Amino acid sequence: MDTSASDAVLARLMRLHPKKIDLSLGRMERLLERLGRPQDKLPPVIHIAGTNGKGSTTATLRAIAEAAGHRVHVYTSPHLVRFAERIRVAGKLIAEDALTELLEECEAANGEDPITFFEVTTAVAILAYARTPADLCILEVGLGGRLDATNVVAKPAAVGITPVSMDHEQFLGDTLAKIAFEKAGIIKEGAPTVVGPQMGEAMKAIQGVCEEKGVQPLLFERDWQASIKPRGDGFSYGDWKSEFDLPMPNLVGEHQVTNAGMAIALAHAQKAITIPDAAIKAGLGWVRWPARLQEIKNSPLNAMLPQGHDLWLDGGHNPAAGQVIRTFLTEVDPVEREIILILGMLGNKDAKGYLKPLSGIVNRVIAVPIPGEENAAEPSFLAGAATDAGINGLVAKDVASALKLTLEKAQDERPPFVLIGGSLYLAGQVLREADILPT
């Protein structure tokens, strides 16, 4: 697909503000006023914030609602390969010509006024959703919540707060309580609010915001539960409305049971559309969310590895993601096989915290740069962090070189288990090289 027209406008929009991130609602509200307040013309909105699992929860809720026959708008970020992935209009990625027209319309309405890239492109999504009929609109917060550009909907049909952990401290605060307070800023008076599992400090901050807004939150374990069945052949879910046994979610990893539970609780909490239990079961079976423990097969990258290998991709980038990967690798249990992590991260991420849970299970880390990312961590730093964590750390100039190094060191009787991880930006480039285009 030729995206040159929209890419040209996106490049211009990048220059309207000196900072990539500058949390504020003033610029966003100004632009939306000029556009005729499209945020007031949206279908019922479910708004989702959190540190971990908000993307998977969004994807699962979309699958459930679509399985019930509903047309669903979905806004997520960042994109992996092409910008249109962020804006799903009534079930389909926004068309290139429509995207270009809306970008130009928002660019003209904003003029030369300062506005961040995320703010103006969020306005594009809201405009697209306001002009296309749908039954539901799911908005995933970009960063934080209280001052995020998506936080312009006065009366959401429901709000979700997935697990909160330390991340983006330079923007959200240096304690878990401060970060949770920012995430909880999307909670609105009268909106049913589903809260995922939280550490004590985060839960206290979220409950404080709920109390201020007069909201009785629907809490994990108290109001809804989701747990793997003893034999691991599915999971049990229960809340104030239903109790049932379900198949394991299509997304890989034990943590996806909690994310699926969040999506089901949100489906039950909202009153805007009807979602039967049959749609919940069906939706769990076909939900897709690229670069979240995604297996890569039959791609040009696989051809660079020895026979019998496994190749997986994950975009998680914080200590909680490292723990998820450890659990996943323990579940997979690649006995007598070498586990290789090809790692690229942004420089503002906690590499040591990410790697710590992987000590004793990952045999080798091959650190790579992230092409085109000014803020990418130096591979030598990542290799050093791996060594500090007790993992053999090496450096390669790119992913292809890391795969070649893996092939050279592979033993015939121990085909490697390879995971490429540490950044959604790196994951997007890997999907491009693997010729896998998210749809």
Residue-by-residue DSSP string for 297-318: -SSTTGGGS-TT-EEEE----S
Q: What is the pTM for the complete model shown?
A: 0.91
Q: What is the pLDDT of residue 2?
A: 78
Q: What is the pLDDT of residue 334?
A: 59
CB atoms under 10 Å from CB of 323, counted, come to 19
Class of the CATH-defined domain 294-433: alpha beta
Task: State the amino acid at position 272 in one-letter form.
Answer: A
Domain boundaries, the chain: 4-286, 294-433
Task: State the amino acid at position 268 in one-letter form.
Answer: H
Does domain 4-286 match CATH 3.40.1190.10? yes
Q: Please compute the mean of the pLDDT values over residues 385-392 and round it to a whole number.
A: 95
Distance in angstroms between the alpha carbons of the first and the last residue of the chain: 12
3-state DSSP assignment of residue 235: strand
Nearest to 313 by CA among 436, 439, 397: 436
Q: pLDDT per residue over 197-249, tens digit each?
A: 999 999 999 999 999 999 999 999 999 999 999 887 899 999 999 999 999 98
**What DSSP state is assigned to residue 374?**
T
Q: pLDDT per residue over 102-147, tens digit each?
A: 999 999 999 999 999 999 999 999 999 999 999 999 999 999 999 9
CA angle 297, 298, 304 (to 5 degrees): 95
Token pair listed for 405: 């190094």
